[in-house]
Amino acid sequence: MKYVVDCSAAFKWYVSEPESAKALRLRDDARAGVHELIAPDHFPIEVENALLLAERRGRIAPGDFQLHLADLLAELPGLVTAPPLLVRAGEIALARRSSRYDCLYVALAERENCEFVTADAQMVRDLRPHFPFIVPLISLP
């Protein structure tokens, strides 16, 4: 099975939060070949920024940003080039008043006919009624 994964879920691979165990299971199952993870090619930039902010705010120890970034870059999900997704992501963003960045994930999952796993509760609330393939991380086993 293939899943689109976003920054909100991947961030939990490195920073202990509610649902981190589910996020780690998703990542570890992908590492074991149980399923495949994919993301638009801006994904590592989003995760990198979130980790940098976490270190600046004291949520992770000084120096952990570099360690986590190295781990992320060593085992990225399959990255899909964003430009072919831009038109559809823009349509979704305009229609649903959502972030174009978020809508790139939605457009990718729609194109790949797979589920999109996110820990972003607002995205689930706003977009899932229109895109039932959006799966809240909390709902995973």
Taking only the tens place, the pLDDT of each residue in 120-137 is 999 999 999 999 999 999
| 2-139 has CATH 3.40.50.1010 classification | yes
Question: Phi-psi region for residue 33, left (φ > 0), alpha (ψ -120 to 50) or beta?
Answer: left
Whether 23 contacts 137, CB under 8 Å: yes
> For 23-52, what is the mean pLDDT?
97
* CB within 8 Å of 101: residues ≥ 6 apart: 42, 46
pLDDT band per the 50, 70, 90 thresholds, residue 87 = very high
Report how far apart the first and last C-alpha atoms of the chain are (Å, whole number): 15
> For 57-86, what is the mean pLDDT?
95
Q: How many CB atoms are closer than 10 A to CB 31? A: 10
* CB within 8 Å of 127: residues ≥ 6 apart: 92, 96, 98, 102, 106, 134
Structure tokens at 38: 């994919």
Domain boundaries, the chain: 2-139
Average pLDDT, the chain: 96
> For 22-36, what is the mean pLDDT?
96
Using CA atoms in the order 51, 54, 56, 60, what is the torsion angle rounded to 10 degrees? Answer: -100
Q: Tell me, what's the pLDDT at 131?
A: 97
Percent with pLDDT over 70 in the chain: 100
Residue of 89, 61, 76 lying closest to 31 (CA atoms):
76
pLDDT band per the 50, 70, 90 thresholds, residue 104 = very high
